[in-house]
Each structure stands twice: as structure tokens, then as C-alpha cells.
Amino acid sequence: MHNTLNPVLANQPKLTALPPLSLYIHFPWCEKKCPYCDFNSHQIKDVRSNSDKNKSPGFDEERYIKALIADLETELPRIWGRQVHSIFIGGGTPSLLSANGMNELLSAIRARVNLEPDCEITMEANPGSVEAEKFAGFANAGINRVSLGIQSFQDAQLKALGRIHNGEEAKRAIEIALEHFKSVNLDLMFGLPNQTLDAARSDIETALSFKTPHLSFYNLTLEPNTYFANFPPKLPNEDEIDAIFEQNLALLEGAGYRRYEISAYARKDQECKHNLNYWRFGDYIGIGAGAHGKISFPDKITRQVRERHPEAYMQAMESKGNALIEAKEVSAKDLPFEFMLNTLRLTDGVDTITFSERTGLPLNTVSRGLDAACKKGLLDLNPNKLKATKQGLRYLNNLQEMFL
């Protein structure tokens, strides 16, 4: 069993070493806002109307990149001397950037930040914005991993999800990505409107036929403040969703993919470094509209949030030299929940010692939660691991809430 001492909250964390550091860059524009999406994304106009393939109409690329670079520079004093081991460019639809714009951005980052030699640099892309010429340019700029928002290969499902691509475009996008990038991830959803067991199987089998090294497979949920929350479609019931999940989990495992996180599957040694750093409670600089960041120091852990709307973000960078709307030190009271919120998503969990290494707090801070979770069968009994059981992964929200 885990340590059962009474919890004692330290006045402040004391970290003996700083965790790995990543960089997240948010690109806030999309061609179309999906009805299920609650991310910070803003629809742009006339993106396909410009004949110049090197430009991205509908947003001011040059101005936004300039703001991103200035934003990064504000963070340099806080991370001086530390290496960045992964970069993730998310959105929105970052593949709407021009290849030249991407090259300018990554060149500016390399000039200011010490990147690890094998730094993983991921860009999210939607199949509807994929062009072979642009992907070649992104690869030349330094992108070495692409995450494609496929969601489904079936036209009826894609239409129901408000996606701008069809099934054939999705397949062609994967083929182009595999030609240009070292690693490719496919995002797939299940529990879609009126989805059957056979339809879900077809999606996974099509995805597996491309043999990409990584797949994300997650359940469609109706998030607050989205179109679907206000006008919910007919979704499969809980038993049907469970059947889809179990069927497709067996297909994924049978094809050599290991579930290493609640919604992530990878072939051997192909896990996403960037997301692993989040889930292991690592540090990350967050730049761009609405971006969040987490930076640790020997005696504290801090979080930041930027202006959410792209225009407000750019104006703030131009007029004030920063776009922060929140910058705070995470309290010792909140650190245990934040740690567990991330690490319990990993199917292998983390070594028990990681709690103290990443929070700077003694493990007995969470002893009551650990013992309660073990007694309910949600947490592994191994005293050297913080790891959810199969039941704990199934009821992950309940497990995480035990550390609030």
C-alpha cells in the first residue's frame, strides 16, 4: 500500500531538478469552425480564393509571426540555459501557414532557443488544407511530425461533423504526409452521430492500412459553448460506445499499437514526445493567442495564459510587449491535483518518486487520496507506481477528482 501518513502541505514546493521543457505554439485560425470544437479557433474568410499558393489569405501571417517571435523573447529570461526537446504547433489549422512563414518562424526559434539535436517538431494539419508542395516546404522548414485531423473516412460522418474534407481527401492527405515526414499521427473519433459498430470498424481498418506510427482514438464529447452542445446530434448510447471502443482497441493492439495514454496508441518507440511531457507534468512555454504555459523553478511552479482573440493578442504584443492575461504561481494545495490530472492518463503511470520530483512536495501530501483510490480498485497497489488500474482508466474522471 502507499504511504498512509497524514497529509502535510508544504509552504512552497522544493524542486531538486527542473523537468524537460517543450514549446507550444498556437495558431488560432481555421477554414471552418467545427460544431464539436471548443478549442481557441476562429474562422477565416476566402482562404481558397488566392491564386498565390505561398500566401494564406484571411489572416495577417507576417504580423502574427512577428507577434509570436516577440512573445517567445519575453519568455527567454525564464528558461535561460534550458534545452527545448519538443515543439508542437497546434490550432486551429497551422497548415494554413505558408511554407515560407513556417520557415521564418522555426528559423527565429532556432536563433533564440537551444533545441535538442533530435527535437520533435509537430504540426497539426487538416486534410482539407493539405497540398503536396506546401508539405514539402514544411518538411524543409524543419517539421518532422504531422498530426492529421482525419476523424473519419466516411463522407456521411464527416459531413455530420462539419468537416471540410471527404474520405478520399483524407486518404490522399495521409499518403502525402507519409512521403514527407518522419512521423505521422492520425486523429480518429468514435461515438459519432448514428455510428454503428461496423462503421467504426471500417474507420480503424482504413487507418491501420496506412501503417502510420501513431494513432489517436478518442470519444466525441459534447463540450460546453459549442454548436453540438446547443443542438446535440443523436449519438450512440453508452453500451454501444463501449462496444465500439473494445472492438477497436482489439484491432489496434492486434496491429501492433500499444495504448500508452487514455486516447493515444503507438508502435514501439513512436510515442509523441511532446504530449508525454505534458502527461509527465513537464514544463512548456506557450506562445500565441490563448496559449497556456507552465514553467518550474527550484522554489515554485508558474502558469501563464495569453490573450485569447488573435487581434487582441497581436495588439497587446505590439502595444505592451506582452499578451498575458494571467500569470500566477501554482499553490501547493493545487499542485497534487494538477499532477494527477495529467499523469494518471498514462497507462503505465509514473514512478512514485516522480510526484516529488515534479511537484516539489512529499508524497504523503496525497496519501489519503492514494489509499482511497486503491481501496476502490482505481489505482494500482504497487507502492513504486502511480498508475490507474483498468477500472481507473475507465472511470478516470472519478479517479482524478479524488485528488482535488
Query: What is residue 10's predicted lDDT score, i.e. its pLDDT?
Result: 44
Q: What is the pLDDT of residue 55?
A: 47
Class of residue 301 by CB neighbours under 10 A (exposed 0-12, middle 13-18, buried 19+): buried
Our CA angle for 84, 138, 20, nearest 5°, is 10
- Mean pLDDT, residues 351-377 taken together: 96
233, part of any domain: yes
In a domain, 342, yes or no: yes
Residue 225 burial (C-beta neighbours within 10 Å; 0-12, 13-18, 19+): exposed
Confidence of residue 359 (pLDDT cuts 50, 70, 90): very high
Query: What number of CA atoms fall less than 13 Å from residue 404's CA on the CB side?
Result: 6
233 pLDDT tier (thresholds 50, 70, 90): confident
Give me the mean pLDDT over the 10-17 stretch.
Answer: 78
Residues 260 and 343 in one domain: no
Lowest mean pLDDT among 125-129, 179-183, 227-231: 227-231
What per-residue confidence (pLDDT) applies to 54? 46
- C-alpha 87/C-alpha 40 separation (Å) is 19
Q: Is 307 inside a domain boundary?
A: no
State residue 2's pLDDT score. 53
Q: Is the pLDDT of residue 209 over 80?
A: yes
- pLDDT of residue 46 exceeding 70, the answer is no
pLDDT of residue 231: 83
Who wins on pLDDT, 35 or 44? 44
Using 50, 70 and 90 to split pLDDT, how confident is the model at 3? very low
Overall domain count for the chain: 2
- Whole-number pLDDT of residue 116: 97
DSSP code, position 388: B
In this predicted structure, the answer to whether residue 33 has a pLDDT above a threshold of 90 is no
Under the banding of pLDDT at 50, 70 and 90, the label for residue 398 is: very high
Residues 5 and 75 in one domain: no
- With a cut of 50, say whether residue 241 has pLDDT above it: yes
What is residue 9's predicted lDDT score, i.e. its pLDDT? 46
Are 270 and 374 members of one domain?
no
Is pLDDT above 90 for 270?
A: yes
Residue 7: is its pLDDT beyond 70?
A: no
Which of these three, 262, 277, 292, is where a domain ends?
277
Give the number of residues written for the chain: 404
Look at 51-55, 59-63, 262-266, 394-398 and tell me which has the smallest mean pLDDT.
51-55
Based on the fold, state whether residues 1 and 26 are members of the same structural domain. no
- pLDDT score at 98: 94
pLDDT category of residue 354 using cuts at 50, 70 and 90: very high
Instruction: Output the pLDDT for position 47.
Output: 42
Q: Average pLDDT in the 158-180 region?
A: 92
What's the predicted TM-score (pTM) here?
Answer: 0.92
Domain that holds residue 179: 21-277
Q: How many Cα atoms sit within 13 Å of 351 on the Cβ side?
A: 5
Q: Is the pLDDT of residue 6 over 50?
A: no
Q: Is the pLDDT of residue 342 over 70?
A: yes
**Does one domain contain both 162 and 233?**
yes
Residues 206 and 82 both lie in one domain: yes
CATH number at residue 372: 1.10.10
Radius of gyration of the chain (CA): 21
Same domain (yes/no): 181, 79: yes
pLDDT of residue 223: 82
Same domain for 146 and 66, yes or no, is yes
Residue 79: how many CA atoms within 13 Å on its side-chain side? 26
- Do both 39 and 52 map to the same domain? yes
d(CA 255, CA 251): 6
Q: Is the pLDDT of residue 5 over 80?
A: no
Residue 390 lies inside a defined structural domain of this protein: yes
In this prediction, what percent of the chain has a pLDDT beyond 90?
Answer: 81
Q: Please tell me whether residues 261 and 357 are part of one structural domain.
A: no
Q: How far is CA 262 from CA 217, 342, 346, 363, in A?
A: 9, 10, 6, 24
Average pLDDT over residues 218-245: 86
Rounded mean pLDDT, 73-84: 97
Q: In this predicted structure, which of 6-20, 311-325, 330-344 has the lowest mean pLDDT?
A: 6-20
Predicted confidence (pLDDT) per residue in 296-306, tens digit: 999 999 999 99
Q: Could you tell me if residue 356 is left (phi over 0), alpha (psi between -120 and 50 degrees) or otherwise beta?
A: alpha
* pLDDT, averaged across the chain: 91
> Which of 277, 296, 323 is the endpoint of a domain?
277
Q: Are residues 12 and 34 in the same domain?
A: no
- CATH of residue 172: 3.20.20.70
Residue 111 lies in a domain: yes
| Residue 129 domain flag | yes
pLDDT band, residue 228 (cuts 50/70/90): confident
226 lies in a domain?
yes
In a domain, 298, yes or no: no
Same domain assignment for residues 150 and 250: yes
Of 255, 277, 299, the residue at which a domain comes to its end is 277
3-state secondary structure (DSSP) of residue 21: strand
